[in-house]
Amino acid sequence: MEGFGLVYWTSHAPNLENRDYDSPLNYPLFFFVTTLIIYLIGVAQYGLRYLPPIYNNFPLKHVEFVDLCSIANISVMLFDNNFHGYYIHGRSPFG
């Protein structure tokens, strides 16, 4: 709450300003304002997830394929030239 400058919004006489009015803090209101802020941050992150510049932060398709092979316990050999290729050992590190 102090990081956002909203600590005085939860006093008994809130004026929605960032200065102390010698009014005690209302702790149930503090809980609900804090919960509202955390909820709004989560909604904003969920909404920003689908914007094109931020969409690039998700794993690439080949990384997702390697993860799939690891989870499904499948080994794959891929060749890109005559005598060159890649081997994905699909053994999962978990039991």
Domain shared by 45 and 72, yes or no: no
Domain shared by 12 and 43, yes or no: yes
Q: What pLDDT is recorded for position 16?
A: 63
pTM: 0.44
Which SS3 state, helix, strand or coil, does residue 30 take?
A: helix
Domain shared by 43 and 20, yes or no: yes
pLDDT, one tens digit per residue, over 1-49 is 777 677 777 776 666 666 666 777 778 888 888 898 899 999 998 887 7
The verdict on residue 95 lying in a domain is no
DSSP 56: T
Domain shared by 43 and 72, yes or no: no
pLDDT, one tens digit per residue, over 52-67 is 665 566 777 888 888 8
What stretch of H or E contains 2?
A: none
The verdict on residue 66 lying in a domain is yes
Domain ranges, residue 33? 7-54
Domain shared by 14 and 48, yes or no: yes
Which SS3 state, helix, strand or coil, does residue 35 take?
A: helix
The verdict on residue 35 lying in a domain is yes
Domain shared by 11 and 50, yes or no: yes
What total of structural domains would you count in the chain?
2
